[in-house]
Chain A
Amino acid sequence: DTGVSQDPRHKITKRGQNVTFRCDPISEHNRLYWYRQTLGQGPEFLTYFQNEAQLEKSRLLSDRFSAERPKGSFSTLEIQRTEQGDSAMYLCASSFIAGGTYEQYFGPGTRLTVT
């Protein structure tokens, strides 16, 4: 297992277009998280899944954002009608909640630029 992977690594889109990002977590991990990071800030929580269930969404996640994790494996994050304020690094992380280990392992991120 090579860790958390994300695709694409970079995405440039025009305002108003829809974009979809994919995250493949570490295979045995049951929790998957999405964060967003803007320049000069730390990552901010967006949403997380335990297996296929989406258990929490941040108020940062407007109606234009939707996330899925079918079959509890990979996850997708879709942004509809993108705005310039959506430009950020979108990070995915996974963890295995059991046995006292709670660290989240991050992927390389998808950098979104909305023009």
Chain B
Amino acid sequence: DQQVKQNSPSLSVQEGRISILNCDYTNSMFDYFLWYKKYPAEGPTFLISISSIKDKNEDGRFTVFLNKSAKHLSLHIVPSQPGDSAVYFCAASARGQNDYKLSFGAGTTVTVRA
């Protein structure tokens, strides 16, 4: 069963605008969440993470928001740049259960238009 879901397969945004990517999860044991970016023919690249003890984490143009009660997280990219065009994966793990393997969503393809 898919424990991490990214319901939007694609997103198109104009350069300079905000990109908002969404992710939902079902496993209440998940307590650590990560976003990865993937270009074609490359492995996923770590972007940003957040622990369940926080509701926001920011790193430069990237901000992740976590809503534990809704089991929902989002990634904001501001401002979007052409180099941000890639597939973005949401992932989760249950560190508190000593379970570090990652469960991934199916990904959202972001296209930044000039």
Residues of A whose CB lies within 8 Å of any CB of B are: 4, 6, 31, 33, 35, 40-45, 48, 56, 91, 93, 95, 97, 102-109
Contact = CB atoms under 8 A, between A and B. Distances in A.
B6 to A, nearest CB: 8
A42 B95 contact: no
Given A44-B104, A45-B103, A48-B100, 6 more contacts: A33-B101, A40-B107, A102-B93, A106-B43, A107-B43, A109-B42
Contacts, number: 58
Contacts of A56: 101
Interface residues of B, number: 24
Contact of B100 (A31, A40, A41): A31
21 contacts: A33-B102, A35-B102, A40-B106, A40-B107, A42-B6, A42-B89, A42-B91, A42-B104, A42-B105, A42-B106, A43-B44, A44-B104, A48-B101, A91-B43, A102-B100, A104-B34, A104-B46, A104-B100, A106-B36, A108-B43, A109-B42
A104 B102 contact: yes
Main secondary structure of the interface of B (DSSP, over half): strand
A91 B42 CA distance: 10
Nearest to A40: B106
Contact of B34 (A91, A103, A108): A103
B95 A102 contact: yes
